[in-house]
A and B are shown apart, each in its own frame.
Chain A
Amino acid sequence: MMSKELARLLADLKEAEVIEFLEEALEQGTDPLDLLEGAKEGMNIVGQRFADADYFIPDLIFSGEILKRIVAILEPRLKSGKGEEAERMGKVIIGTVAGDIHDIGKDLVAFMLDVSGFEVFDLGIDVPAQKFVDTIKETGSKVVGLSGFLTLAFDSMKETVEAIDKAGLRDKVKIMIGGGQMDDQVRNFTGADAYGRDAMAAVQLAQSWIGG
């Protein structure tokens, strides 16, 4: 019950009420794991509302801010780190390609993939092709997301796809691209499998490729 209420408050982005509720619940001896479960459920609802275009980027970002505060309160009370990690649907690698240092779009996609239940390996910005290759090998991830804002990223994306191909991994992963000036023509040029226009498109692509 407690976790349902927390999920509702978080999904409605009621920051002050969330914190008040959380503190009271803990005082009454509610299991922090239950509350963490509620927070996760709340984030799922946020993700769903974003997918339904009821929520937009500010709402998504603010939900993340509230979640940070919830985790900061719960974390010291959980016995072993973050508690039991819920089973993840699959692994996704994401990064902004070499030469490009833009991160806003990439961060949003990583966030949406995370709240949608994927394990996300965010390699950051200006990521060399080899780093993508190494991470595919290390994680066995089946989906790679390449982000880029500038026209220079067209070439970097193509080079990244080629490096993955050269390493003999091309048939083991699906590759999606997105950001700034990307479109299907660029997708075709880079040899990636799909172009996604926004964070929800990335989630849908990942789901269609590895389920969930």
Chain B
Amino acid sequence: MGKKWEEMSPDEKQEAQFQKLLTPKDPEGNDLQFQSQQAEANYKASINRIKDAIQLKKTPDRVPVTILPSMFPYINAGMTVEEAMYDYDKCTAAFKKFMLEFQPDMNIGASAPGPGKFFEILDYKLYSWPGHGVKPEHCYQCNEKEYMTAEEYDLLITDPSFYFRNFYLPRVFGALGGFTMLPPLTGILEMYGVAYNFIPYALPPVQGTFKALFEAGAEALKWAMAMGGSDVELKSLGFPNILGGFTKAPFDVIGDTLRGTRGIMVDMYRQPDKLLKAMEALVPIMIGMGIGASQQTGNPQIFMPLHKAADGFLSDEQFDKFYWPTFKAVMLGLIDGGCIPFPALEGHWGSRLKVIQDVPKGKTMWMVDQTDMAKAKETLGKNACLIGNVPSSTLKLGTPDEVKEYCRKLIDTAGKGGGFIMGNGAFFDEAKPENVKAMVEITKEYGVYE
């Protein structure tokens, strides 16, 4: 067995994670039974290919290819997004069809639509989704607002969990209003007076909230069982899902769903020290979120969608002061915990490359949207695996030949010497299936290394 997990170096932890992926188990903990020898061979070849692309130690046998869709698999199967969100069996069936049709080396599972019923039970206000503010055939979209007020930083900094439960969650989930009446858990210390802490649980609004939680939990479990079953089946067919979970850069945690874009940018001027302190308080929480998810799923890749620091969003100085330090700290913490941070550079990030290239070699993978891939390769690509950046516009509006030409160029530039995974640049809902197929085919054909 060798060393205990805690004694391992980050290198050894990463290696152990890949070995675990290479010897997959079924839900009972026995060795997974593949549906054929070919499926087993494909599965292992894909994992090894991805491993080589990430580690940058040796060139893979060929460029791995992935498809990271939003609602494409469901729309392509002829269903509405609403159906995919509410009928879990239909959702997983569509995802299986998608995997069998396109055969990428790695996938992120069928969980993108999420459980519609669950959102309904909790009266989720942070998003509009089909039947709740957007059309049945459209993807859910975020309702950005100041869910945290400018005056609440001290509450967030002092006790983030208390702040989330008593202030933030009741604002984004209509059914969780009872949380506002609960005292902090840290008041529960010793026998004298302990009972006072529990009085709120007798109040009808609190009980109503807990009833909604039980119901939502049951629905989430039902959905998770469908997702888990789909994952095991796809693995047995030779397709690894390598997504271990997700976390965020602290600036985006505050800028996306707490203070919002306008709020956080005003805070940079009016209360920069509090903003910085709050982001620092979020660092260990965001690391723990990623490591926890990775331990639960057994997959090391921790996705980090990056939003509010794309080109133009911040000056270089603002990026260096407000975004990069805590984002980097989260990545380093994840790496220490045996995870592989998987940030997505959504939009254009060319102006950030010179800063973000400063990451430990062979420990991260980056989804690249519209950033110039040749420039990304010369900088970030020296230390990290790049994924992408086939444009949504070409996938939806182009021809298979145009897609192939774009991919050939990518393989010649970004693929040079390894460290590249072919894929789309941004999560997409709509595309011509023949274009998606062309992306996979050309990679398997042209992406073979000598």
Contact = CB atoms under 8 A, between A and B. Distances in A.
Contacts of B394: 185
A61 B266 CA distance: 7
A189 B397 contact: yes
Given A15-B270, A151-B396, A181-B391, A99 B135 contact: yes
A180 B314 CA distance: 17
A143 interface: no
B141 A56 contact: no
Residue of B139, B370, B392 with most chain A CB atoms under a 10 A cut-off: B392
Contacts of B347: 180
A151 B430 contact: yes
Interface residues on B, range: 35 or more
Contact of B134 (A101, A155, A182, A185): A101
Given A104-B144, A151-B396, 6 more contacts: A57-B312, A62-B269, A101-B143, A103-B144, A154-B396, A180-B347
A181 B138 contact: no
Contact of B312 (A13, A62, A198): A198
Contacts of A182: 393
Contact of A56 (B138, B312, B392, B430): B312
A102 interface: yes
Interface in B349-367: none
B265 to A, nearest CB: 4
B373 interface: no
Given A99-B135, A151-B428, A154-B430, A186 B315 contact: no
Contact of A61 (B141, B144, B262): B262
Given A57-B312, A198-B312, A185 B393 contact: yes
Given A104-B261, A152-B139, A58 B391 contact: no
Interface string B248-267: 00000000000001100110
Contacts, number: 88
B429 A65 contact: no
B393 A58 contact: no
B318 A58 contact: yes
A101 B314 contact: no
B128 interface: yes
Interface residues on A, range: 20 to 34
Given A56-B312, A186-B397, A101 B269 contact: no
Contacts of A15: 269-270
Interface in A175-205: 180-183, 185-186, 188-189, 197-198
Contacts of A57: 261, 265, 312-314
Residue of B134, B314, B393 with most chain A CB atoms under a 10 A cut-off: B393
Nearest to A100: B141
Contact of A185 (B265, B266, B391): B391
Given A152-B430, A186-B397, A58 B141 contact: no
Residue of A15, A181, A183, A185 with most chain B CB atoms under a 10 A cut-off: A181
Given A56-B312, A56-B318, A61-B265, A154 B128 contact: no
B56 to A, nearest CB: 29
A24 to B, nearest CB: 22
A150 interface: yes
Interface of A: 13, 15, 55-59, 61-62, 65, 99-104, 149-152, 154-155, 180-183, 185-186, 188-189, 197-198
Contact of B266 (A65, A154, A186): A65
B136 to A, nearest CB: 11
Interface string B406-450: 000000000000000000001011110000000000000000000
A173 B266 CA distance: 36
Contacts of A180: 347, 426
A156 to B, nearest CB: 10
B268 interface: yes
B133 interface: yes
B266 A102 contact: no
Interface string B306-336: 0000001111001000000000000000000
Nearest to B261: A104
A23 B59 CA distance: 67
A101 B138 CA distance: 11
A128 B429 CA distance: 21
Contacts of A151: 392, 396, 428-431
Given A56-B315, A57-B314, A58-B318, A152 B138 contact: yes
Contacts of A13: 269
Contacts of A102: 141
B398 interface: yes
